Amino acid sequence: MSGLLAGKRLLITGVITDQSIAFSAAKIAQEEGAEVILTGFGRVSLVERFAKRLPKEAPVIELDVTNQEHLDALPDKVREHVDGLDGVLHAIAFGPQSVLGGGFLSAEWADVSTALHVSTYSYKSLAMATLPLMSPGGSIVGLTFDATQAWPVYDWMGVAKAGLESANRYLANYLGEKGIRVNLVSAGPLRTMAAKSIPGFEKFETAWTERAPLGWELTDQVPTAKAICALLSDWFPATTGEIIHVDGGFHAIGA
């Protein structure tokens, strides 16, 4: 098999529909020669349905990234399909409605802590759970939404993403000695299930489509997926702790 990811064994989280960023990443990874294993949270049969729509049907392992038993069992479940991993995609985020959509000042800790557990701490949890399967040259990739500034309505998810961006640098620092790279893709707004659950998400959509120098397609997951695959490949061998923007250039332009 030839291609950018020929022979790579990848664990891809975060598929819930064919609009998921992770679905496009899995599809392109397979087209580029990778062997892909998916994880599903809760609705595993739904994930399995979408796994059948990939160029090659991928196995699905159940994983709630906040469940330590699931995390502990992950290496053995992965070994049922492959003997190790070359790359892992973390494409997971969740915040209860109270932490988004203008509720920043009223959101309570119980809900905020859920958002931080699922969206921030889980990056470290997933990295540690898969570490026994990884060897030097391995790559971990996550997804952020530019956390360098406060956005309307994103609220505590913005704080969670700021934490994720920091965790990305710490993970890169701790895993560098094992030869493992850790990087984020900072994507512009895309109409996925997670995005549609954010009240007021259309504010981002208008800003991006009007201001991104390269323009921005709200339903095109491919540019983001291609960047993920590039980071999972051998073509960024000396890059870690980095955040690659795939946002049509929006982040570089002032109002």
Residues belonging to the chain: 255
Do the bridges between strand 243-246 and strand 134-144 make them parallel or antiparallel, or are there none, so unpaired?
Answer: unpaired
User: Nearest 5 degrees, angle CA 242-CA 247-CA 251?
Assistant: 75
In terms of CB distance, is 6 or 193 closer to ligand NAP?
Answer: 193
- Residues 38-97 close enough to bind ligand NAP by CB under 6 A: 41-43, 63-66, 91-94
Q: Please say if 77 is a catalytic residue.
A: no
Determine the 3-state secondary structure of 213 from DSSP.
Answer: coil
Q: How far apart are CA 163 and CA 119, in angstroms?
A: 9
Enter the tokens of residue 129. Answer: 């759970």
- Residue 123: active-site member: no
Q: Which of residues 116-155 bind ligand NAP (CB under 6 A)?
A: 118, 143-145
Toward ligand NAP, which CB reaches closer, 145 or 250?
145
Residue 14 binds to ligand NAP (criterion: CB under 6 A): yes
**Residue closer to ligand NAP, measured from CB, 4 or 16:** 16
Q: Which is nearer to ligand NAP, 94 or 250 (CB)?
A: 94
- Which class for 110: exposed (0-12), middle (13-18), buried (19 or more C-beta within 10 A)? exposed
Q: How far is the CB of 2 from ligand NAP (least distance, A)?
A: 28
Q: What is the C-alpha to C-alpha distance for residues 171 and 127, in angstroms, rounded to an integer?
A: 8
In the Cβ-directed half-sphere of 43, how many Cα atoms lie within 13 Å? 9
Q: Which 8-state DSSP code applies to residue 126?
A: H
CA 170, 127, 141 angle in degrees (round to 5)? 80
| Residues numbered 162-201 forming contacts with ligand NAP, rule: CB under 6 A | 187, 189-190, 192-195
Instruction: Give the nearest distance from C-beta 195 to ligand NAP in angstroms.
Output: 4
Counting residues that bind ligand NAP (by CB under 6 A) gives 30
Of 8, 27, 154, 178, which one is the catalytic site residue? 154
| Dihedral over Cα of 3, 4, 8, 14: its sign | negative
Separation between Cα atoms, residue 59 and residue 44, nearest integer Å:
11
The smaller minimum CB distance to ligand NAP, of residues 2 and 232, is found at 232
Q: Compose the 212-251 pattern: x for residues touching ligand NAP by CB under 6 A, - for all others.
A: ----------------------------------------
Q: How far is the CB of 179 from ligand NAP (least distance, A)?
A: 25
Interface residue list for ligand NAP (CB under 6 A): 13-17, 20-22, 41-43, 63-66, 91-94, 118, 143-145, 187, 189-190, 192-195
Positions annotated as catalytic residues are 154, 161
